[in-house]
Amino acid sequence: MAVEAHHLYLLPSQLLANRELTNTVENQTDFNPLYSTVITTTAAAAAAVCESNLSNDFLPRKRLRDHSFSPSFFSHDISFQFQQHQLELDWLIARHVDEVVAELGDRRKLFMKQILAVVEEKVARWVKAKEEEMMKMEKMNLVLEERVKSLCLENQIWRELAQSNEAAANALQSNIKQLLVSGGRGKIKEESNEVVGDAESCCEGESSRESARGLQLCKSCHGGESSVLLLPCRHLCICVDCCLGVDVCPVCNCKRIGSINVNLS
């Protein structure tokens, strides 16, 4: 290894310097004629040996060194491999990024579907509750409408009854005035009527009493006294005991809406 290192340090510039030195010695043979031949031959032999050694040893080793190391080819191979690795890394990173983006997109879609399902369920429950509430309100409105209709009808009946009672009161008031005006004439007529009544009662007997009593009997139980006026037909045909159990007038079969107790005593 030491010999090879020594030969490696022999550069062409040094060889050129040795050659120049030998040339100068050859040119100066006239300066020392005695030793000129010896020096010349010795220098020429040494130069020949050096050149032969350099040509035989240095050039093949240089070629082997250039062939073995070849920096340009080695750097080109390294750069190519580095580019290949860089491309592979870029491809792997891009693929991983695509997979992550796709997975995130799938998760986002699934999350949105879950949110929409929950929202739809809540909205459906809310709509169902509102529909049930609307149905209840409609039923209540129907009940209230029926109640209002019945109240209007009852109000109309009471109004008609009040008008009829007012007319009856006016008629009674006019009769009382007439009786007060007539005075004694009424007394004479009453006395004559009593006399005639006594005579008729003697003739008729008990038949008229039974017919009057039959008119005052209850048309439902036929036992009690008729003291309840049914509305709206205004028939005085049932007793107090039958008032709670009768929904239809026994005389005209009209539906009963109300009733009024009449005191005949």
Q: What is the pLDDT of residues 100-116, one digit of tens each?
A: 999 999 999 999 999 99
Q: What is the pLDDT of residues 116-140, one digit of tens each?
A: 999 999 999 999 999 999 999 999 9
Alpha carbon 41 to chain centroid distance? 115
User: Scanning the structure block, which residue is given the tokens 């990024």?
Assistant: 97
Residue type, 164: S
136 occurs within a structural domain: no
Question: Which residue, 14, 46, 71, sits at the end of a domain?
Answer: 71
Pair 47, 22: CB distance under 8 Å: yes
Please choose, from the candidates 258, 260, 218, the residue with its C-alpha nearest in 3D space to the C-alpha of residue 242.
Answer: 218
Residue 239's SS3 state is: coil
Enumerate the β-bridge partners of residue 37: none
63 occurs within a structural domain: yes
pLDDT at 194 over 70: no
17 occurs within a structural domain: yes
pLDDT at 18 over 80: no
Q: Look at strands 236-238 and 258-261 and give their pairing.
A: unpaired
234 occurs within a structural domain: yes
pLDDT category at 75 given cuts 50, 70, 90 is low
- Which CATH number belongs to the domain containing residue 230 in this structure? 3.30.40.10
- What spatial distance separates the first Cα and last Cα of the chain, rounded to whole Å? 162
How confident is the model over 158-175, as a mean pLDDT?
85
117 occurs within a structural domain: no
Question: Which residue, 14, 45, 71, sits at the end of a domain?
Answer: 71
173 occurs within a structural domain: no
For the chain, how many structural domains are there in total? 2
- 226 phi and psi, to 5 degrees? -70, 110
Q: Residue 26 corresponds to which tokens in the numbers above?
A: 């050859």
Report how far residue 70's alpha carbon sits from residue 53's, in angstroms, rounded to the nearest whole number: 25
- The pLDDT mean for the chain works out to 71
pLDDT category at 37 given cuts 50, 70, 90 is very low
Question: Which residue, 28, 50, 71, sits at the end of a domain?
Answer: 71
Q: What is the pLDDT of residues 201-254, one digit of tens each?
A: 444 544 544 454 555 788 888 888 888 888 878 788 888 888 888 888 888 888
Torsion of CA 30, 33, 39, 44, to 10 degrees: 50
Q: Residue 12 corresponds to which tokens in the numbers above?
A: 């062409």
pLDDT for 223 equals 82
225 occurs within a structural domain: yes
Report how far residue 19's alpha carbon sits from residue 16's, in angstroms, rounded to the nearest whole number: 5
Report how far residue 139's alpha carbon sits from residue 131's, in angstroms, rounded to the nearest whole number: 12
- Domain span at residue 32 reads 2-71
243 occurs within a structural domain: yes
